[in-house]
Amino acid sequence: MSDQHSTEAANDYADPEHIEHTSSGTGLALPGQNLPDKVYIIPIHNRPFFPAQVLPVIVNEEPWAETLELVAKSEHHSLALFFMDTPQEDPRHFDTSALPLYGTLVKVHHASREGGKLQFVAQGLTRVRIRTWLKHHRPPYLVEVEYPHQPSEPTDEVKAYGMALINAIKELLPLNPLYSEELKNYLNRFSPNDPSPLTDFAAALTSATGSELQEVLDCVPMLKRMEKVLPMLRKEVEVARLQKEISAEVNNKIGEHQREFFLKEQLKVIQQELGLTKDDRSADLEQFKQRLEGKTLSAQAQKRIDEEMNKLSILETGSPEYAVTRNYLDWATSVPWGVYGQDKLDLKHARKVLDQHHSGLGDIKDRILEFLAVGAYKGEISGSIVLLVGPPGVGKTSVGKSIAESLGRPFYRFSLGGMRDEAEIKGHRRTYIGAQPGKLVQALKDVEVMNPVIMLDEIDKMGQSYQGDPASALLETLDPEQNVEFLDHYLDLRLDLSKVLFVCTANTLDSIPGPLLDRMEVIRLSGYITEEKVAIAKRHLWPKQLAKAGVSKGSLSINDSALKALIDGYAREAGVRQLEKQLGKLVRKAVMKLIDDPKAVIKLGPKDLEASLGKPVFRNEQVLSGIGVITGLAWTSMGGATLPIEATRIHTLNRGFKLTGQLGDVMKESAEIAHSYVSSHLKQFGGDPKFFDEAFVHLHVPEGATPKDGPSAGVTMASALLSLARNQAPKKGVAMTGELTLTGHVLPIGGVREKVIAARRQKINELILPEANRGNFEELPDYLKEGVTVHFAKRFADVAKVLF
């Protein structure tokens, strides 16, 4: 298109203000000129063009340049714009069926060409519909058109809709200033009371899709069109309002943050200028120096910490090395260097604390008081390593707590059960990521003194793995000669643990390595007899269960005979944990009744136990008796137990000896020794010397499913075989223990206390013990020895004298 044409077109076009309304009320016409009946068409793709709009339109120069040149040469300078949702691949081969029903007749202004594009201002005039195609093979496309008509007088309903549209537009204006520009443009050309252009203008304001807007363009009847547009406009108002709220909220938050950040930075600078605060590095250094005040460091520790502090003062706070050094100083300055707590060396107070927390355990309490007495005499208690050994539930951990309380020292407990990594004891090396000091340094940090009571629980249950052997790492810790200079790998500083009182606990000594056991002082807690358990239940366990359930003593009580029946029938083990569980069960059952009747008073007697706890777990064991049956005594990790042994002759066809009862190697050997000894000395003990030459003998230890082992059944097995050979039942109510040699000597055994308790529990009051264990028996408390007759045997002949 030439420049001449452009200028001509520009001069020729009427001013928008001189456009006047046609009588139809729907279309627009130029002064003194009717609407053309033949026009060229151009498809547009973004959204439909409305009659109430004046907007620039951009099209490709190829193939629409010729169309625009022809429009410029025409008298009316108009063309029709039709909306197409999907652009045609090739505009030269036009699919006429793709065009919608209605388009818009526009007047072309200010056409120009730039960079392969044509641009012109389109001024919407009226809706237009194609009547017939005059040229549709290739552009320019020429069509014959017609214009819709509708009544000029608007009805009341149309006026009401018009008001609603105007109100919605008013709401839109404050939300987005762009709308007000469009409204000014519209008011320059139309009356606000004219419903048709108002509706089209309202539709053009919305951000609806092209197809939705085309539906509005296709809808000629006024009322229907308004019904379509009003919801679209209301939706637009809501969206605009929401957007405004969101952006206001975002701006508000950003503003607040910026203000806060700005003020904080200003405050930091002002404070630093006035010397009121320091930066992070200075604050850290000051904190570490404060921690060391009042502590007495060794020369090595002081030198090392000073070096690390100097290093920290040079490093950048953001560097990884800074974090490592800071973490190291955090631990090193937390250790209570040279800070010792004051011990309460008052033996009366200690005795009171021990009696308050524990019933029974008289010998254990005496042992602890002796240990405290030495400290009181000397004026200080230097570190000692005590190992409390005993079955589960006898109160080993609580004894450790009581020692700490009686001394007035802080108490720290950690369990070694399952520990497999020596770094838990001695710390990791600082080079590793996530390195930490060992548990002992952590304990000292927590208790804030260098002389606490540290309990190492379950020392017999430590593991071993490729990561190391924690039992060996404990050797340095628990050796009074070495732990003066205990070295933690993380701190790499010498710590004095010689004033720490270590209390270790174990159920059995078998799994503790010899060198470690050698460093500890063993105190045995062997379990309780019935009388002690009754006292413990009354004084400690029953009140504890009542408090746990929130039941008053007046509402629920249990008498002594019921406690005794409970212990004999349901909780016969060495400790009191099972007893505590059964008492808890009784309280829970009673609470169920108290909920139904809150004012009830429940008194539990022996007859009430079965209803709450079921049938007794333990029956009064019938002590087996008869020819070839002897009651032995055994020690287990759960306490002492009686162990009957039976012997019988199966036949006399050939000599033989058979063993059953899941016996360990040691017990099998004991049986072989007993068989050999009794066979060779049968005449001496008044039996038929030929008895074993032609007898096939079977020796059985009942409860075949339970594994049994240990070096204390030799005497019992020999007695059973002798009873069988003499065909004479042994003396009733006698139990025995002892190891036998091939020459008939009776060797000493362990666990005398547990075995005596087990015999008393079975109401056996006559015992045979090795002579070498006389001292162990005499050391027992009087209440255990009371009413028990003991025969001490040096040789097997002494045993035979008592039995037969």
Tokens of 660: 């059953």
Token pair 């209605």 in the structure block, residue: 102
Q: What is the mean pLDDT of residues 343-364?
A: 79
**Can you tell me the mean pLDDT for 276-288?**
76
Residue 8 has pLDDT above 60, yes or no: no
Instruction: Name every residue whose Cβ is closer than 8 Å to that of residue 307 and which is 6 or more positions away in sequence.
Output: none
Smallest Cα–Cα separation from 165: which of 251, 230, 121? 230
CA distance 699 to 658: 6
Residue 173 to residue 176: CA distance in whole angstroms = 6
Cα 561-563-567 angle, rounded to 5 deg: 115
Cβ contact 71:57 at 8 Å: no
**Fold match between domain 530-613 and domain 629-803:** no
Average pLDDT, the chain: 84
Distance from C-alpha of 765 to C-alpha of 251, rounded to nearest angstrom: 92
d(CA 265, CA 723): 98
Mean pLDDT lowest for which of 112-116, 293-297, 383-387?
Answer: 383-387
Q: Are 154 and 222 in contact (CB under 8 A)?
A: yes
Nearest alpha carbon to residue 182 among 113, 119, 124? 124
Report cis status (omega within 30 of 0) of the bond before 770: no
Describe the crossing of helices 299-314 and 320-334 by its angle, rounded to 10 degrees. Answer: 150
Residue 446 backbone dihedrals phi, psi, to 5 degrees: -70, -45
Measured distance CA(97)–CA(53) in Å, rounded: 26
Q: Do 450 and 339 meet the contact criterion of CB atoms below 8 Å apart?
A: yes
Between the ranges 235-244, 273-282, 476-485, where is the mean pLDDT highest?
A: 235-244
Average pLDDT over residues 275-279: 66
Average pLDDT over residues 722-742: 88
Q: Is the dihedral of CA 385, 389, 392, 394 positive or negative?
A: negative
Kindly report each contact of residues 778-784 with a partner whose C-beta sits within 8 Å and lies 24 or more positions away, as own/partner. 779/363, 780/363, 780/752, 780/753, 780/756, 781/362, 781/363, 783/529, 783/531, 784/529, 784/753, 784/756, 784/757, 784/760
CATH 3.40.50.300 fits 347-524, yes or no: yes
Q: What gap in Å lies between CA 497 and CA 598, rounded to an integer?
A: 56
**Is residue 397 a known part of a binding site?**
yes
What was the pLDDT predicted at 182? 81
Provide the percentage of residues in the chain whose pLDDT is more than 90.
19
687 marked as part of a ligand binding site: no
Position 151 scores a pLDDT of 64
Task: Check if the beta carbon of residue 467 is closer than 8 Å to that of residue 515.
Answer: no
pLDDT bucket at 102, cuts 50 / 70 / 90 = very high
Q: Is 787 exposed, middle or buried (0-12, 13-18, 19+ CB in 10 A)?
A: exposed
CA R_g for the chain: 53
| Rounded-to-integer distance, Cα 333 and Cα 436, Å | 14
The predicted model scores a pTM of 0.60
Angle, vertex CA 115, rays to CA 111 and CA 120, nearest 5: 15
Contacts of residue 264, Cβ cutoff 8 Å, sequence gap at least 6 = none
Q: Is 395 annotated as a binding residue?
A: yes
Report which DSSP code applies to 745: B
- Can you tell me whether residue 387 is helix, strand or coil? strand
Query: Cα 642 vs. chain centroid, distance in angstroms?
Result: 46
Q: Has 124 been labeled as part of a binding site?
A: no
In this structure, of 26-35, 135-144, 655-664, 755-764, the range with the lowest mean pLDDT score is: 26-35
Does the domain formed by 629-803 have CATH 3.40.50.150?
A: no
Give the model's pLDDT for residue 390: 85
Cβ atoms of 109 and 16 within 8 Å: the answer is no
Give the mean pLDDT of 442-470: 84
In the numeric block, the tokens 């099209």 are attached to: 59
- Over residues 603-630, the pLDDT tens digits come to 888 888 888 888 888 776 666 677 888 8
Cβ pair 549, 592 in contact under 8 A: no
Whether residue 3 has pLDDT greater than 70: no
- Listed in sequence order, the residues at least 6 apart from 206 whose beta carbon sits closer than 8 Å to its beta carbon are 213, 229, 232, 233, 235, 236
712 in active site: yes
Q: Is 390 annotated among the ligand-binding residues?
A: yes
Phi and psi torsions of 619, nearest 5°: -100, 160
Question: 44 near 170, Cβ under 8 Å?
Answer: no
Give Cβ neighbours of residue 225 (< 8 Å, ≥ 6 apart): 196, 199, 216, 219
Q: Looking up tokens 């044409």, which residue turns up?
A: 5
Residue 56 has pLDDT above 90, yes or no: yes
Residues 497, 477 contacting (CB under 8 angstroms): yes
Cis peptide before 140 (omega within 30 of 0): yes
CA distances from 105 to 27, 138, 383, 481, 637 (A): 9, 21, 106, 109, 106
Q: Could you tell me the sign of the dihedral formed by the alpha carbons of 669, 672, 675, 679, in that order?
A: negative
Q: Which of 755, 763, 794, 801 is catalytic?
A: 755
How high is the pLDDT of residue 1? 41
Do residues 429 and 383 lie in contact, with contact meaning Cβ atoms separated by under 8 Å? no
Residue 382 belongs to what H/E stretch? none
Read off the amino acid at residue 531: E
Q: Could you give the CA distance from residue 683 to residue 800 in angstroms, rounded to a whole number? A: 13
| 434 labelled binding-site residue | no
Judged by DSSP in three states, 94 sits in coil
Q: Which of 78, 712, 719, 723 is catalytic?
A: 712
Are 79 and 120 spatial neighbours (Cβ–Cβ below 8 Å)?
no
Q: How do residues 209-263 score in pLDDT, each as one tens digit? A: 989 999 999 999 988 999 999 999 999 899 989 998 999 999 998 988 898 989 8
Instruction: Quote the CA–CA distance of 535 and 541 in Å, as a whole number.
Output: 9
Beta bridge mates, 58: 119
Q: Which fold has domain 38-146?
A: 2.30.130
Q: Where are the domains of the chain?
A: 38-146, 280-334, 347-524, 530-613, 629-803
10-13 — which CB contacts under 8 Å span 24+ positions?
10/109, 10/110, 12/77, 13/77, 13/107, 13/108, 13/109
Tell me the pLDDT tens digit for each residue of 532-558: 888 889 888 999 999 998 888 888 888
Distance (Å, whole) CA 780 – CA 782: 6
CA torsion 174-177-179-181 (nearest 10°) is: 130
d(CA 411, CA 402): 9
Q: What percent of the chain has pLDDT over 70?
A: 93
pLDDT in tens, 157-167: 888 988 988 88
Residue 362 in marked binding region: no
755 is catalytic: yes
3-state secondary structure of 501: strand
**Do residues 530 and 564 lie in contact, with contact meaning Cβ atoms separated by under 8 Å?**
yes
396 a known binding residue? yes
* Strand pairing category for 54-60 and 117-135: antiparallel
Question: Whole-angstrom Cα distance, residue 256 to residue 758?
Answer: 78
Range of lowest pLDDT (61-70, 86-95, 111-120): 86-95
Position 13 scores a pLDDT of 34
Dihedral of the alpha carbons of 554, 559, 565, 566, in degrees to the nearest 10: 30
Residue type, 675: H
Distance CA 39, CA 79 (A): 5
Which CATH fold would you assign to the domain 530-613?
A: Helicase, Ruva Protein; domain 3 (1.10.8)
Matching residue, tokens 């223990």:
737
